[in-house]
A and B are shown apart, each in its own frame.
Chain A
């Protein structure tokens, strides 16, 4: 425990205190403010939990969460089993496609689905042209549509954690079951699946919390009776009605509380249940089997279906981006580059802002994340576990909570919100765990004796870090950097509360364009542009090493 380490810990803690603890406490404090009298009390909460409307909304959100979890599980279990266990051609491609929604912004998916499955969307128009239906079918407006879209968006989280679970089970557990007389489904349900519960849960909690975070999807689909959406409407549309504003803040706090509590419960349970591997002496890289022809065809069909749904998003947005006046036609007929001309030449500000804000946030992220990872993995400074804990908790915090709390905290006392630096700062605070987890897990894999050897040879701590640790960590850190950038680039939930005229980013531009009128072209072109940027960054990641990504995102990576 050297002086330097303590100094570093103090420094990092001050940053966290200033950018995380302080604003979030202000958020909680504000939620107790009573609009009418200007005093403090619990009456906002009492009202929230007595009002039939808010209770209904709370219930709606729970129902949505349950349904999304249920459907991701139903679709995810076979999918992960196929990905983890069957030997088949194109495994990497399918895995990449199926995981894609993790990095695609959720709103991109919604727009694509509206264009394709909407009331007068491609599918309905085609069906009507063929004379199969008279009036359009309502594919997406309603609970069922929400469930569908959110399921597609969250499926990768279940697939990733479950397939990691399937891969990591010691094969002899299943072989023992087979020798004992159990085969097929019985073995799967009595041995395989129970052994996977810890990894399943790690993914399931993220899925379950999504409807408590995602305000935009319901809003775009015109379904506002969910907790985050109502919170957004109360705060953003009714800023002058103090009472509604505080009810909105209460809604934000309630959904944050749900997220945090469930997240912690799951984390605690997973850590308690994690079956310590006793495996020794097997030469297998997990159990990979050659499926029979029937199963093989079946699993291809299954994977292709999901992959098509995923690919629909960039494809539809691409069509919309390169055309105009695509209404009441199944496919666009008027092709143009107008949308891009508008974005790139007439308002290049959005693109510039997106890159600048994400870039500055990334700079903060590296400057903070690397020392933090070092501190957490390699030292015994008191309070380092708490630091890790707080940063990990940011994974569960709804983006809206960060946005609103920054607005409240950095307005009067510390008027940071009037300077554009608030945007990258907020992005940094929100996306920090993405970078830290990656740096953290590559640090864990770095054998400490390599660093010790350097110190024995006479190098100081800093020199050791620069000459030994950093080069060896580089791969993992680079993947973390790119991941951070992708996530910051598409961030909207926090930014939407903080931007002012001239600070708009691409996601905000998408939102505003949708909001102002029904011309999808520009919004679609912006979304398409974002997808292209994301694709390029992903390509970089996969060149650096997709394995690193998987290692860090598998369950128990923290």
Chain B
């Protein structure tokens, strides 16, 4: 059984529905990320798990213990650690006091409190800063204090709400790996909230993509990227070209091979193995990622999904080129890993690899 179970969770603020009947499971020792655009209800979901919000409906079970249905369990009794988006490091206490605050509430000897605190300080790399006030720390250090404070009591569950969003880009990347390895090592079950898809990909074992109060898809980073459940997920994670069209034929012998008539005027073959089942006449989007489009100067021999287009714009992004190609007036984004001799305004041929081309609704 899952370690955290969220059952039919519903939470509204006056007339805004923030969380709309969510079902979600988090397995023991895994890091699950709630990912979604701003305002989709990630923070609210996390706060419901922490007990900082009281949902109107549903239940949350942590380690087989219901938090709501058998009486509301106060946040202080849930055995969780939480890292707040703004850290919430108490400005009137020194680092050490901040960290041992929760330990002091347990009946522990002074000595073991100190030992545990030093252990955690060492773990997050804050040794020697115990006697500082938060105002004397950098943003990154404050972030570590918040992390240490959340970890010090060996919580069953660690909740993190965009813990890295206030850090600069370099530090953010470094901390991603640190948090991940730390949580792995300690074997804590963690729920991580972010709206940064790259961060989610790096840090999570599984990702739950949310949109306007609902969970749209749950899966490993590879699942979410490679097999998005719908257009929203595909668009939110990475970049995707959507070609609006209509299904014209589904091959009888091979259910995964579907022909779609698109705005390009051409019929496209989509044969990704996990495509959703469709019937002819259905309005769908043939979708392909920019890196799955191949580029040719001259038309290659007998390839499926071959189209001709004009380069509208070339964008140099350092490690690769991003080109915008107009095909019959529709723009398609293509990522090319190397130098491209053609200039803007010139023609080229594109092959939309049928194996990578998927059908989304």
Contacts and interface: CB of A to CB of B under 8 A. Distances in A.
A176 B149 contact: yes
Interface in A166-203: 170, 172-173, 175-183, 186, 190-191, 194-195, 197
Contacts of A276: 91, 135
Given A182-B105, A190-B101, A176 B84 contact: yes
Interface in A484-542: none
Contact of A170 (B52, B77, B88, B105): B88
B165 A281 contact: yes
A180 B101 contact: yes
B177 interface: no
A278 B138 CA distance: 12
Contact of A278 (B74, B76, B87): B87
Interface in A246-291: 275-276, 278-282
Interface in B32-86: 50-52, 74-78, 80-82, 84-86
Contacts of B92: 194-195, 197, 275
A175 B84 contact: yes
Contact of B91 (A179, A190, A195): A195
Contacts of B77: 181, 183
Contacts of A181: 76-77, 102, 105-106, 153
Contacts of A278: 86-87, 89, 91, 142
Contacts of B346: none
A179 B76 contact: yes
Nearest to A187: B76
Nearest to B54: A290
A176 B90 contact: yes
A176 B80 CA distance: 11
A282 B85 contact: yes
Nearest to B149: A180
B166 interface: yes
Contacts of A279: 86
Contacts of A186: 105
B162 interface: yes
Contacts of A191: 90
B88 A180 contact: no
Given A176-B90, A181-B153, A275-B91, A280 B102 contact: no
Contacts of A275: 91-92, 135
Contact of B101 (A182, A183, A281): A182
A281 B91 CA distance: 18
Interface string B89-105: 11110000000011001
The winner among A173, A179, A183, A276 for most chain B CB atoms within 10 A is: A179
Nearest to A278: B86
The winner among A181, A182, A186, A280 for most chain B CB atoms within 10 A is: A181
B74 A178 contact: yes
The winner among A176, A178, A281 for most chain B CB atoms within 10 A is: A176
Contacts of B89: 278
Contacts of B149: 176, 180
The winner among A172, A279, A282 for most chain B CB atoms within 10 A is: A172
Nearest to A198: B92
B84 A180 contact: no
Nearest to A179: B82
A282 B89 CA distance: 15
A173 B88 contact: yes
A282 B86 contact: yes
A279 B92 CA distance: 15
Contacts of B166: 280
A172 B74 contact: no
A182 B76 contact: yes
Contacts of A282: 85-86
B38 to A, nearest CB: 10
A280 B105 CA distance: 28
A181 B106 CA distance: 9
B80 A179 contact: yes
A12 B130 CA distance: 50
Nearest to B100: A180
B91 A183 contact: no
Contacts of B82: 175-176, 179
Given A275-B135, A280-B166, A179 B86 contact: no
Nearest to A197: B92
A179 B78 CA distance: 8
Interface in B151-181: 153, 159, 162, 165-166
A180 B102 contact: yes
Contacts of B159: 179
Given A276-B135, A282-B86, A179 B162 contact: no
A50 to B, nearest CB: 43
The winner among B101, B146, B153 for most chain A CB atoms within 10 A is: B101
Given A173-B88, A180-B76, 13 more contacts: A172-B86, A172-B88, A175-B75, A176-B146, A178-B52, A178-B75, A182-B105, A183-B76, A191-B90, A195-B91, A281-B165, A282-B85, A282-B86
Interface of B: 50-52, 74-78, 80-82, 84-92, 101-102, 105-106, 135, 142, 146, 149-150, 153, 159, 162, 165-166
Interface of A: 170, 172-173, 175-183, 186, 190-191, 194-195, 197, 275-276, 278-282
10 contacts: A175-B50, A176-B149, A178-B52, A181-B76, A182-B76, A182-B101, A191-B90, A278-B86, A281-B85, A282-B85
